[in-house]
Structure 1
């Protein structure tokens, strides 16, 4: 391990590597370090590095450093001290009586995620794996930051389509399940699934197997919501879920369209932009070299 970093403990483990909490010795700051197997210079770990080092947004996990040792790529990132959104959802589901998130909190997290995706989409990047474990919380205000850009896909043009089916079944858009080309509207679908889960504390699309989940997603058949749950929040929540979970991607709004105008979400996003100083522009991203 690089002498500048001291490992504290393992945070998580997956098929491609491990994530550690470490301390940056010169500054004594806590950092999150992802350790991934290196295949070659154009492998997924290095593509993730190339994307991350050029993304500069307060609602996206900040890249800090990277290095390679013994065929392992180490990616040093901002440490999210409040955990991830999946932990928050799990705690809410376990609580008795069940504690639902205040609508103001839902809109705050959702707006922050929309701002992060608007930034990525404007740079012709699709995230493709939006889910609670990839959404981290930071600081006393629990600001949401989007992580795990390793499966992000660069589009050649705004109207281009990707054809690699990547994602997590509960959050995957029907066009990905159907092996059709997909674009930024696949992320918009995942936003709808996430908003449903934040409001109702369950997955929008159920199923005992991936095939059953796929059938429900392809038909747009999400779980019905109990009357008491629909009454808990304003009609804006349910209306937006319906817009986002349209099986026809051309009929889903873009993130920019959602944030434009005078609706509540747009106003909230505008307020957050001022508070967290959203950058006006950033370098163009080339992940092919």
Structure 2
């Protein structure tokens, strides 16, 4: 490990420096620009997002936008920005450390999973995204990979992360094409002005996946994939959807609504009986959902992430092996 000196900057990161903090770089997360860091002289751990200043040239506005978004946010289901630091060569964002792993990993490892579980997960995400929307923030890149658990324990909260594409709405509409292909809304593909409804669409895709284990829109050819999305062309295929309630399907139809004007907002989605009522079934769908997740979503990074989590437990003084459900 190495020690790096970081200068705290509370505002306008290019001009001001206040204080000094030391972090020990304990491990690199191979799948991103984030480092697991331990504050010098304490046991406190943070996630340290490292941005080379050379890479910032010409992209200052994008970084400033991400920082501005993160500074506005304080919600129990959103990974928090704790501080901003710099060294002579890098800008560092210290983020709340979440240790519970990714959404798919946890579903596979839990052994029992129902519609009700999916409903409770989606409710947490809806509440967080609705909070963002009330602040005038659109995430624009909601997907399962950006949903992490706060801790490894059974009652852990789900957390939204990665605000690199998020945007504060200036006038209620945006026009930049962005996002992840399988989760992008039709209006973005049509290069039309768009708003918060693109997040609702992405939540519809995520909800669909959580109930069957495969995406509503898929083709190895992006052009064909985009045609499916533009037509809102998807099915509730048998046998995978045979045991899923009509209420769940109705909920998804309202989010995967082709017309952004008619699509449910997060606030409306929170009032749907599948979220707020008792229409979500409690039949175990773990086997079928996990089989499809493992078929349709690459596990290439899962072992790497598990090793990093094991290292984190070691640093924290926990015995990773005690948590059998995470083996």
* Fold shared by both chains (TM-score > 0.5): yes
TM-score by length of 2: 0.72
1:21 aligns with 2:36: yes
Structure 1 residues 11-32: Cα deviation after superposition (integer angstroms, max 9, x where no partner): 1445xxx111122234412211
Structure 1 pair 21–86 and aligned structure 2 pair: CA distance change class (3 A) = farther
> SS of 2:37's equivalent?
strand
CA contact (8 A) 1:101 1:198 kept: no
1:229 corresponds, among 229, 240, 243, to: 240
- Offset of 1:134 from its aligned partner? 0.9
> SS of 1:228's equivalent?
coil
1:34 aligns with 2:35: no
| Alignment correspondent of 2:126 | 114
Structure 1 segments (4+ residues) deviating >3 Å = 40-43, 86-89
Structure 1 pair 232–79 and aligned structure 2 pair: CA distance change class (3 A) = farther
CA contact (8 A) 2:69 2:167 kept: no
> SS of 2:204's equivalent?
helix
Unpaired stretches in structure 2, ≥5 consecutive residues: 6-20, 279-327
> SS of 1:113's equivalent?
helix
> Partners in 1 of 2:46 and 2:209 — Cα distance?
29
Structure 1 segment 1-289 matched on structure 2, within 5 A: 1-2=4-5, 3-14=21-32, 18-38=33-53, 39=56, 42-88=60-106, 91=108, 101-139=113-151, 140=153, 141-157=155-171, 160-222=172-234, 224-260=235-271, 263-266=273-276
Structure 1 residues 128-147: Cα deviation after superposition (integer angstroms, max 9, x where no partner): 00011111111221311111
- Offset of 1:61 from its aligned partner? 0.4
Structure 1 residues 117-166: Cα deviation after superposition (integer angstroms, max 9, x where no partner): 11000011110000111111112213111111121111124xx2100111
Structure 1 residues 22-31 or 131-140, which shifts more? 22-31
> SS of 1:75's equivalent?
strand
RMSD: 2.2
> SS of 2:240's equivalent?
helix
- Offset of 1:60 from its aligned partner? 0.6
- Offset of 1:231 from its aligned partner? 3.0
| Alignment correspondent of 2:12 | none
Structure 1 residues 74-127: Cα deviation after superposition (integer angstroms, max 9, x where no partner): 1111111111224346x47xx9xxx77321221111011001111000011110
CA contact (8 A) 2:65 2:167 kept: no
Unpaired stretches in structure 1, ≥5 consecutive residues: 269-289
Structure 1 pair 69–35 and aligned structure 2 pair: CA distance change class (3 A) = same
> Partners in 2 of 1:264 and 1:204 — Cα distance?
19
CA contact (8 A) 1:36 1:45 kept: no
Structure 1 pair 112–26 and aligned structure 2 pair: CA distance change class (3 A) = farther
CA contact (8 A) 2:175 2:194 kept: yes
> Partners in 2 of 1:47 and 1:209 — Cα distance?
32
